[in-house]
A and B are shown apart, each in its own frame.
Chain A
Amino acid sequence: MGVPESDVDDVYVDVFMKIHGNVGTFKCGGPAKLTTWIYRIAQNVAVDYHRSSKLNKMSTEFNEESPKHSKARDGACAGRNAELLKWLDGELAKLSERDQALLKWRALEIPYAQIGEWQGMTEVAARVRHQRAMEKLFTAAKSVLSEGAVPQ
C-alpha cells in the first residue's frame, strides 16, 4: 500500500482502531469475507495517509515537468494534478473494466500469473492484454501531446 516503514506503526494502529470501532457492523456470511473487509479498511486508511501526506512525490514530479498542469485547491483531486488525473480517468473509462483492472494491478506489480488467475486467462494472455491496453494509453497521450494539452 506504499506506506513507508517509518509510518507503518501509525497506519497499523489506525487500521486496528477502525476495525475495533466498526467490527460490530461486519456481517458474518455477508457479501465479503472478514479478510476482505479488513483489507478494505486497511486500503482506506492507507488512502487517507497518502492524501494527508505532505510528500506527494508524484504530483511534485509532474508539476515540475509540466508547469501547465493545474493545481486545483479543492475537490477530490486537490493538489494532485487534477487535470492529469482527469485525463487518465477519461482514458481508462474508454477501456473495458477488465483492462482497467489489469492496468491497475500491473502498476501495483502484481504478477501476470496472479492477474491471469483472477481474470480467468493465462499468464501470456494477461501479458498481451496489458501490453495492448498500455499502447492504447500511449496513443491517447501522444495525440493529446500533439494538441499541446496534457501529459508529457
Chain B
Amino acid sequence: MAQDTLSQSTSDSAVVSVAVSRSRKGIRVGALGFTLLLHLFLIFGAIIMVAPFIWMVLTSLKDNSQAFRIPPTWIPNPIIWDNYPQSLQAESFGQAYWNSFYITAIVVTSVLLTSSMAGYSFARIRFPGRNVLFILFLATLMVPFQLTIIPLFLIMRDLGWIDSHLALIVPASLFNAVGVFLMRQFILSLPIELEEAAIVDGASRWTLFWRVIFPLLKAPLAALGIFTFIGQWNSFFYPLIFLSSPNLFTVPMLLNQFRGEYSTQWTLVMAASVIAVVPILIVYVLLQKQIIEGIATTGLKA
C-alpha cells in the first residue's frame, strides 16, 4: 500500500502525538519544536558536507595573497580567474579526461555484458560444476584486491602491459564477482514462463538471452553500471601501480601529480581539484536520483 511507509505513518502519528500531548496538557510546541531542531541538525550536517567543496571553489578563485592571509578572505576580491588557465596549461587535463573516460566506458560496457551473461548462466542453465563455480565467485568477494595486486603486477609485467591502459581495462572488464552475483539474483527472480515460451517457439539459448532476458535487466544493469562507473572513474590504486607515463594518467592520478608538483601553490591546486571534480559532480546532480536509488536497492539486496 502506498501508505505503508514509516515516514507516512510518522506524519500521521505526529498529528496523533500532538493531539496526545495536547490532551495531556503538554505543550503543542513539542512536536513542532522537534521537527525544527531536526532540520537545524540536518542543515548543520549538510553544511559540513558541502563546505569543503565551496571552500575549494573559493580558494581556486583567489591569488596567493588572499589565500595565505590571517584572518583569511572569505569571498575572493578580486576574483582571480587566471588560476584555471594556469592549471590547465600546467598539466594535460584534457588527455587525462579522455583517458579516464574511454577506460571507464569500456570497463562499464564490458562488465554489464559479461556479468549479465554469467548471471544468466548461473541462474538458468544447468551445467556441471555450476554450484562450485558460483561459490568460488562468492568466495572472491572476501578477497581484498590488495592481496592480488602484487601477482597482478607481475602478470602485467610479463604481458608487457605495464604502463599501458590494457592493465587497467582487461582485469576490470573481465572479472566482477559483485556484478555476476547481482545479475544472477535478479534473473532468478524473473518468471521462467518467458523463457519456456521462447524455447517452445524454437529460440536458441543465445537469442533467448539477448531477445528475452536482456531487455528485462534494465534496473539491475543501471545500478551495476553506476557502481562500476563510480569505482572505475575514481580508481587510484591500480593506475598508481601500473602507469608511469603522465600522458596515460587518469584524472585522479593527474590530480595527485599536480598536488606533488605545485604543493605550496594551493590556489592552483584547488583550481585543479575543481577541474577534476566538477564534471563528475554535474553528472551526479543530473542523475542523482538513479545513482542513489541504485545504491540503496543494491544494498538492500545484499
Asked if chains A and B come from one complex, the reply is no
